[in-house]
Structure 1
């Protein structure tokens, strides 16, 4: 029997770990996933009921149900002749040379399913969060991240071979000649991209990726493509600057996207277009199209038709479903209680900042100002984005509707450039079991779906709720002061508001957190301390603040608090999925999230009478304290 003193995660979750089974259509099961599974059941039943009793008084929900029913009409899907897909593939096939490609760029963005070998996106400007900026990146890679392309990676060859073979089968299904060569050429172009792509560590330090380039320098420097008219076609004006987020891709652009590589680029575009289409077609093709992702994570079975139907509907109508979910499943009593907990967490943070011993008073006061400016959103949004009024289901095929919706959403994406940022928009639907902090709007968002046991329940004690959702709330608040969030001011602008000596002290604290996790062994391999530092800072801040709040309650029970903390991180996953997360996920492996943060808190040692000879013991001089 495992003792808490030796392994908190294993001791608290022993019965669950023994009994829990990973669903055949998923790579893992966790406390989060258990809620997801329940939500899938509830929403499937709800949407089926709405299909019988159509919500005629709710136009957006009615379109959602129409799309849901079309996605589940397998008789019609299995009779598809692929005419619409072939029309999309033809848009790529008829580009005979690089000159054709250049002349078709704008049409390819707004009126095709084909991806480009580069990407422009409209996002809030990190230095001016009221306005949008146009960002520039590479197109992404086939494998999960750059580490998978190392010659010594054990899965590099088998994954690329599987992807190429699987892609060729898909191309053949659409009547494409020379399918094997085309899929092989797509892999060759992907290989050219690897040296210029950001690593997962680089993406994780997103505040450092902001590299504004004047539009003059941008269009003059990237000489193989005439970006002058293209950029104006995208956003309707000529921006003063372009934000480059992948510097190596920008530096090597002319060597990658050029006439010499055109046949490889064309093959890559064609293959990606074909792969994307499979989700909306026959049963055989949707199973074929998802085979690579299953192989990547060792998932035994494809999603059932019923779950796939829900997945597709969520992909286009997520906020509509989210608001429906929030109104049905999230009560006002719970909302008010969570609001109270958020206020308590913020108050605790204020007190901890005032008592902080390594920050100057001036910086601490600025931090408190930022803290006071945080806006919490709880449950579900007050309004639905206007774009949903434009998503109308037609008499055409499911794929044709998806193509039409993509065109509408793409146009809307670039339209935003001319508008001020709407900081009230939610970036997660209410039925998603998650939460987030947005640095550009200084908001914390807690969707209704995570406000359930084991994270939160009116039936749980205050200590259990603080060990669950309280720690999650404080975790999101802590992101305002992690290695990325700390560089944004209270208005959401990338702006160094710290005194220089304070930030230097903070960087030393970051190094301590990196060292605490660096190389710690897991079932899937050693942890990467640099990749996961921001989430670890937030985890440590979260559990520390939640603990303080729990101690302020009359019914405090620290054993329950730490046990609940360990329970919310329970997880079992395939080895392949764990390895993928180790290489690219900014969160620490679940067991480390459960076990390491408590060891930095004196109350943990008191609650479980942990001694120096116990495995969970950490010497006081090695305990990391930031917030």
Structure 2
């Protein structure tokens, strides 16, 4: 995956970013892209979700109810108001034992993972729906007879058609990357690396480190250049060192993949070259920071001058590199992993020039492989799709073409998506829900018994400054300077990368653009940015089962309300809480309150570290801490907001479920998800989100309100002793 896919030319790339889920890339909240996910890995949203709906319903288990639900007839109107797909419930499972299975069990048993997916669930279902909508928009442009040169329809149509023209792609062979390969071949000495790295990064190709421009976390009113480790073709440093047989097999397959690409490109001794390239990557992996350390916003904030950077990496001119990238106006450089750069300098010095050139040649081939002839495309899929993710078949070409168009012209097609698929009424209702959640969070802060008045005042000040973006940008991005030429797939993508890079570096010296979005409207996700202190909800997530305008408030508060609460909570998780309301990284806690906060989060780390979805592998409670806080606190705040919305009245019972029960059903169903083992293995090593079953059960066991709603008692599998339950916000 190119640096653009990590940075997405967005200001939020430099901030502590909390997301509802990830889309196949770096972990969140991780301020900077690490460019460690390989170029060809499918950039589809991670599947972590669930809905439910049928006629006969089961009466839920309440405090005094029998263990076995009683089936009763439910009207169509009741089903509509319930907003829960009852056919997905597994009534053989008690909600007091495994709520995730109770809500989603039938779906989990009867739903296959599509052959072209590594995972499947509500997020993927909605992403597929969004993808079909985008296909209609894009193919309409592609089929249009009159497309004025330079217009959005012309660019969208020609880019899509260039991806779909497999006959031309096959005939071209390696010609589309000839200039990039020649550029690497022309490298005469290591002294030329600054300009070569800069050119490759502008073109969207991976190098041993990545430079991007984003907000300065300690001076959030300015943009600054930032540098992060990169250079690995496997998803994470651990893939190079773990001794379990599956990782041994993956490394062997990776060597075969490198050799295959080099052979196709005409390398005489491809086997030896592949071994040398892997050895170089293994050295980079050894010095790469792990993902837990990369979450530490203080540890990854190292402000350097160009002179200090030169001293850190003797023989590499940072002034020349920054000039070649167009970032010479930067007021300094924030280095996320200084000792990695130092080790990289030593590794490059010790590596023969021919090996460095072979490594960079491989990065060109691997980065472009999915867009080249079938032999390259198939080699890329065989490793990154089949071996790493367990896919049975590649995604249909039209889907990959849609992804390519969205990657290059995301907001251009996003504007058309909004016009056709987003209701102004949904935006208004979301604004009301956000307002209610903000008030609930405000009251929640005031009610904390472990926090001092001094720290509460700081927290309230931050909460009051939260900015909220819903649906789509108020200002759309201008793509008029991006050139798209019929039949030039690789060149079109390369021009898009250069266009995005120029857009990114042009921010230096300018005021922060607070209208900019970090996701397109058609993205099924949501996020919080600490440097912007904002929460963002794209249009595509505002549909059932997350947001259902026909459903009762209880279900919506448990679903989209908890999503809103999740993003609010990211501003107060273990990393987001390090920034103030203006987005600046600073400590606004008293020493005693900070100790109390860490005590509670340590218990949460311990809880999640005990979960094991795969044999021999467990959840990394430290890596997933921020998202686990987001889930737990977000759901707690959403429940408070729901109770406030009732204004003292008792919620009606619908289809046999009380209001509190529907609230938790709303939460449980959005996390329905299935994973292939290899995808789960990669998730556990690289993703800052917990597997879906723990996003439900791991949270609910800490919420007294859940115990009361479903009559959970000591001895039930979901029971956790009161003194072991965690409440943070």
Runs of 4 or more off by more than 6 Å in structure 1? none
For residues 162-173 of structure 1, the aligned pairs below 5 Å read: 162-173=253-264
Contact 1:296/1:576, CA 8 A, preserved across alignment: yes
User: 1:369 & 1:61 partners in 2: Cα distance?
Assistant: 45
Cα pair distance change 1:259/1:147, threshold 3 Å: closer
2:128 to 37, 41, 59: 37
For residue 200 of structure 1, what is the aligned residue in structure 2? 291
| Partner residue, 2:392 | 300
Residue in 2 aligned with 1:98?
190
Instruction: Single out whichever of 129-138 and 256-265 deviates more from structure 2.
Output: 256-265
Q: Distance in 2 between matches of 1:593 and 1:538?
A: 10
Q: CA shift at 1:150, angstroms?
A: 2.6
1:604 aligned onto 2:706 = yes
Equivalent residue in structure 2 for 1:547, among 625, 630, 639: 639
Structure 1 residue 624: deviation in Å? 0.2
Gaps of 5+ in 1: none
Q: Secondary structure at the match of 1:481?
A: coil
The alignment status of 1:623 with 2:714, answered yes or no, reads no
| The 10-residue stretch of structure 1 (363-372 or 204-213) with the greater mean CA deviation from structure 2 | 204-213
- Distance in 2 separating the partners of 1:121 and 1:377: 24
- Point out the more displaced range, 238-247 or 314-323: 238-247
**Alpha-carbon distance change, 575 to 263 in structure 1, aligned in 2, over 3 angstroms:** same
Say whether residues 1:423 and 2:519 are aligned partners.
no
Q: 1:466 to 1:299 in 2, by over 3 A?
A: same
Report if the CA contact (8 A) 2:411-2:476 is conserved. Answer: yes
Contact 2:133 2:417 in 1 (8 A): no
The answer for the alignment partner of 1:9 in structure 2 is: 100
1:348 aligns with 2:444: no
What is the DSSP-based 3-state SS (H/G/I as helix, E as strand, rest coil) of the residue aligned with 1:225? coil
1:540, distance to aligned residue in structure 2 (A): 0.7
Match of 2:248 among 130, 135, 157: 157
Q: Is the contact between residue 201 and residue 210 of structure 2 (CA under 8 Å) also seen in structure 1? A: no
> Number of aligned pairs?
625
Structure 2, unaligned runs of 5 or more: 1-91, 653-658
Q: CA contact under 8 A between 2:174 and 2:265: conserved in structure 1? A: yes
1:31-110 to 2 correspondences below 5 Å: 31-53=122-144, 59-101=151-193, 104-110=196-202
Please state if 1:490 is matched with 2:581. Answer: yes
Aligned residue number for residue 626 of structure 2? 534
Return the match for 2:321 from 202, 211, 230.
230
1:361 is matched with: 453
CA-to-partner distance for each residue in 1:328-351, whole Å, 9 max, x for gaps?
111011110111001100010011
State the match for 1:564 in structure 2: 666
Moved more, 134-143 or 482-491: 134-143
In 2, distance between residues paired with 1:147 and 1:449?
Answer: 34
Aligned equivalent of 2:56: none
- Aligned-residue RMSD, C-alpha: 2.1
Larger mean Cα displacement after TM superposition, 230-239 or 566-575: 230-239
SS of residue paired to 1:324: helix
Deviation of 1:93 (Å): 1.6
- Between Structure 1 and Structure 2, the one with more helix by share is 1
Alpha-carbon spacing, 1:335–1:598, altered in 2? closer, same or farther (3 Å): same
> CA 1:275 to 1:471, structure 2 compared with 1: closer, same or farther past 3 Å?
same
Deviates more, 1:427-436 or 1:402-411: 402-411
TM-score between the two structures when normalised by the length of structure 1: 0.95
Evaluate the alpha carbon distance shift between residue 567 and residue 108 of structure 1 in structure 2; reply closer, same or farther with a 3 A threshold.
closer
1: distance between equivalents of 2:666 and 2:636? 14
Correspondence for 1:522 among 596, 613, 623: 613
Change (3 A) 1:27 1:395: closer
Deviations 1:510-533 (A, max 9, x none): 212112212222235321111111
Kept in 2: contact 1:348–1:545 (CA 8 A): yes
Q: Which of the residues 436, 441, 446 maps onto 2:537?
A: 446
SS of corresponding position for 1:129: strand
- Aligned equivalent of 1:126: 217
SS of equivalent to 2:426: helix
In structure 2, distance between residues paired with 1:572 and 1:227:
46
Q: Distance in 2 between matches of 1:402 and 1:125?
A: 29
CA contact (8 A) 2:158 2:486 kept: no
Label 1:54 to 1:20 Cα distance change in 2 as closer, same or farther (>3 A): farther
Q: 2:423 aligns with which of 331, 334, 341?
A: 331
Query: Which residue among 475, 479, 483 is the counterpart of 2:570?
Result: 479
Matched-pair contact (CA < 8 Å) for 1:569–1:591: yes
Change (3 A) 1:421 1:264: farther
The answer to whether the 8 A contact 2:173-2:373 is kept is no
1:235 touches 1:417 (CA, 8 Å); kept in 2?
no
Per the alignment, do residues 236 and 298 of structure 1 end up closer, same or farther by CA in structure 2, a change over 3 Å counting?
closer
CA distance in 2, matches of 1:575, 1:115: 27
Distance 1:475 1:216 in 2: 42
Closer, same or farther: CA 457–61 of 1 in aligned 2, 3 Å: farther
